[in-house]
Amino acid sequence: MLWVKAFHIIFMVTWFAGLFYLPRLFVYHATANDAVSQERFKVMERKLFYGIMTPGAVLTIALGGWLLVDYAWEAYSHNGWLHAKLTLVALLVVYHVYCGKLLLDFKHDRNRHGHVFFRWLNELPVLILIVITILVVVRPF
């Protein structure tokens, strides 16, 4: 089980790297004025979302589910920290899907947001990571 936990953490880091970087690319893309830069950002965003973020998310969730089913659910199902963590993971999935929608908007030149919106959007996964880490390590309730 330690191997499963190790790979769960590795893929979680991979997923979060994408969750942190994609909105940053959106910031730059929203300020790009020339066609060459816009096309370059489209390629970078697509490769990040489909090549790194989505596989990282799928493997994080699959391995986390494996851990949950194998030993954690019976031991921790009555602890609030686990339910809070799972709720935040669900919120991250929604955030991930929303980033995919924004990616498609940029792909089809339909972006309606400015760079300031994407700068704020970039902060949400940071806050969620902080709270999840505290929940898992400290288990406050």
What pLDDT is recorded for position 141? Answer: 87
CA distance 93 to 35: 31
CA distance 65 to 78: 17
CA distance 58 to 55: 5
Compute the half-sphere exposure of residue 108: CA atoms within 13 Å on the CB side of its CA: 7
pTM here is 0.93
pLDDT tens digit at each of 141 positions of the chain: 899 999 999 999 999 999 999 999 999 999 999 999 999 999 999 999 999 999 999 999 999 999 988 876 666 667 888 889 999 999 999 999 999 999 999 999 999 999 999 999 999 999 999 999 999 999 998
What pLDDT is recorded for position 79? Answer: 80
What pLDDT is recorded for position 69? Answer: 87
**Helix, strand, or coil (residue 33):** coil
DSSP code at position 32: -
Nearest to 47 by CA among 28, 21, 27: 21
